């Protein structure tokens, strides 16, 4: 579904991604782990071109999105993204947050968009918050709504950029639950996270990144119980203690 | 009381100077605010353009306007511009042009600061949902920035009303010019100027109250102030 060919990204002199080759298949849940500064967030943000790659190619649904001839906005409609800092729109209500993109981008009728939004809100148990403004919500609620906002565009793939890192510990669970449900429904997901429990339970494949490369990858079982590369071993030893 | 009879006498004799002067000042301020804002928005867009050349021309313009005295700009526009551009030979037009070209630079900076005060995550979230840059600006960034911009913009309008007095140096009969004329006619140092001061104050104070009301109404309709 997403094919990454020799992806490289430099910020000035800093070489963040050093030629990544990867393919994400339909229905797969790929979890990306690694120490901070390893390039895992940059990798994710390159997938929908929030970061412009310095070189290399990204092919989504057979369309090269790095090719300037192709309209990136059309492709982004099919790629949902969830951010560490939620990035809900503070001047819009929860319902408007969810419906604005379907209405403005997909030209969906307001009633239809609202119906979809209410169904999604019901799914996460927040339908009573539809007319609330984001600043009245807890972090966990905000992030669940951010997920729903992305889902309202019916994306083919969901990208998660450390979705639980800015949350209070007691709110991590509710967000992970929503993500697990999504995975169960067969959503293709790429998740950058520090939640090893989630990686083990939900991930089909785990990528370990370090120094701008994918150092090692495998099923959660292979990677967590029998890491091959010394840097993977070192990283897992530090976090799992 | 002598002072009141003096005042009454003065006003009945010269009131038309004040009425005409006030109308001129209001006219210059009105067009200055409207066209100054429009040119300001344009300058701001140019400055934020991805094209380096366009953006640096706009930046240079803004820096020069902010870095030189308004009185100098008025002279340059009045004496200089008609020699290089086919502009109408009207004092009032050239005076207003000078004031609005000055105000535009400040408005551009106010708008730019307002837009850049919005977290980049807002733009990223909008873009990630498939919105174009223009849509993101229109539906997500500008509505949030507007609230930040309004107080500073109101302040700029008030400054413009006061600073428009400078165009009296090219003999446009605005409130300031007429007050000074009366000072010359009557040899009285205080009364003509103080009356003009009261009128200026009445205009700016009203403007300030109106803008304050607008801000409060905006704040009341916007319950979400942080994400």
Which of B122, B125, B223 is closest, CB to CB, to A133?
Answer: B223
Q: Under the phi-then-psi rule, with left for phi > 0, alpha for psi from -120 to 50, and beta for the rest, what region is B39?
A: alpha
Backbone angles phi, psi at B150, to 5 degrees: -55, -50
Q: What does the pLDDT read at residue B92? A: 93
Low-confidence ranges of chain B (pLDDT < 50): 224-227
B chain contacts of residue A149, beta-carbon cutoff 8 Å: 129
What's the pLDDT tens digit per position in A78-119? 999 999 999 999 999 999 999 999 999 999 999 999 999 999
Option in B131, B139, B226 nearest A90 (CB): B226
Tell me if A170 sits within 8 A of A139, measured CB to CB.
Answer: no
Asked if residues B70 and B78 have their Cβ atoms less than 8 Å apart, the reply is no
Cα B173 to its chain centre, rounded Å, is 19
CA distance A74 to B83: 52
- pLDDT band at A223; cut points 50, 70, 90: very high
pLDDT at B220: 65
Q: Do B122 and A80 count as a contact with CB atoms less than 8 A apart?
A: no
Chains A and B form CB pairs within 8 A to the count of: 88
- Both ends of chain A: CA-CA distance in Å? 36
Q: Given this model, what pLDDT does residue B226 score? A: 44
Whole-number pLDDT of residue B89: 85
Q: What is the ipTM of this complex?
A: 0.92
How, if at all, do strands A63-64 and A213-218 pair? unpaired
Report d(CA B68, CA B83) in Å as an integer.
21
- Min Cα separation B60/chain A (Å): 26
- Percent of all residues in chain A with a pLDDT value above 90, rounded to a whole number: 91
Which of A187, A225, A182, A180 is CA-nearest to residue A206? A225
Inter-helix orientation angle B142-163/B2-47, to 10° = 140
Residues 6 or more apart from A23 whose CB is under 8 A from it? A2, A3, A4
Can you point out the beta strands (E) in A46-118?
55-60, 63-64, 79-82
pLDDT of A241 reads: 57
Q: Would you state the pLDDT for residue B227?
A: 41
Contact check, Cβ <8 Å, A153/B122: no
Q: What is the pLDDT of residue B222?
A: 59
Cα distance from A76 to chain B (closest Cα, Å)? Answer: 5
Does any CB of chain A come closer than 8 Å to the CB of residue B80? no
């Amino acid at each position: 579904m997403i094919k990454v060919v020799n992806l490289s990204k430099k910020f000035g002199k800093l070489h963040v991604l050093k030629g990544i080759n990867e393919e994400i298949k339909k229905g797969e849940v790929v979890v990306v782990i690694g120490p901070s500064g390893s390039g895992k967030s940059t990798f994710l943000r390159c997938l929908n071109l929030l970061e412009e790659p310095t070189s290399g190619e990204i092919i989504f649904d057979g369309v090269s999105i790095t090719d300037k001839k192709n309209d990136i906005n059309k492709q982004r409609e099919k790629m949902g993204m969830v951010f560490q800092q939620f990035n809900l729109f503070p001047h819009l209500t929860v319902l408007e947050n969810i419906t604005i993109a379907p209405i403005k981008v997909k030209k969906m009728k307001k009633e239809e968009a609202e119906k979809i939004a209410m169904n999604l809100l019901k799914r996460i148990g927040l339908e009573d918050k539809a007319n609330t403004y984001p600043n009245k919500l807890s972090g966990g609620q905000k992030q669940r709504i951010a997920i729903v906002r992305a889902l309202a565009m019916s994306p083919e793939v969901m990208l998660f950029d450390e979705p639980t890192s800015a949350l209070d510990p007691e709110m991590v669970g509710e967000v992970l639950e929503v993500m697990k449900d999504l995975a169960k429904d067969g959503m293709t997901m790429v998740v950058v996270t520090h939640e090893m429990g989630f990686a083990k339970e939900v991930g089909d494949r785990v990528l370990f990144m370090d120094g701008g490369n994918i150092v090692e990858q495998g099923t959660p079982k292979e990677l967590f119980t029998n890491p091959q590369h010394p840097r993977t071993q070192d990283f897992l030893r530090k976090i799992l203690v | 009381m002598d002072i009141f009879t003096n005042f009454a006498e003065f006003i009945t004799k010269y009131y038309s100077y004040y009425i005409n002067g006030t109308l001129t000042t209001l006219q210059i301020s009105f067009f200055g605010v409207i066209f100054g804002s429009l040119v300001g928005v344009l300058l701001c867009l140019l400055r934020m353009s991805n094209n380096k050349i366009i953006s640096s021309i706009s930046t240079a313009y803004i820096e020069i306007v902010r870095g030189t005295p308004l009185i100098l700009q008025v002279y340059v526009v009045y004496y200089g511009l008609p020699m290089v551009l086919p502009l109408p030979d009207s004092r009032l037009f050239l005076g207003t042009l000078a004031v609005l070209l000055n105000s535009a630079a400040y408005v551009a900076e106010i708008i730019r600061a307002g837009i850049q005060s919005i977290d980049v995550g807002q733009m990223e979230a909008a873009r990630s949902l498939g919105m174009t840059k223009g849509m993101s600006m229109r539906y997500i960034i500008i509505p949030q920035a507007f609230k930040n911009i309004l107080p500073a913009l109101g302040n700029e309008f008030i400054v413009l009303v006061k600073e428009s007095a400078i165009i009296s140096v090219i003999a446009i009969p605005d409130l300031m010019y007429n007050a000074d004329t009366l000072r010359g006619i009557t040899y009285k140092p205080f009364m003509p100027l103080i009356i003009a001061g009261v009128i200026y104050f009445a205009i700016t104070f009203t403007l300030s109250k109106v803008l304050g009301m607008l801000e409060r109404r905006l704040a009341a309709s916007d319950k979400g102030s942080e994400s």
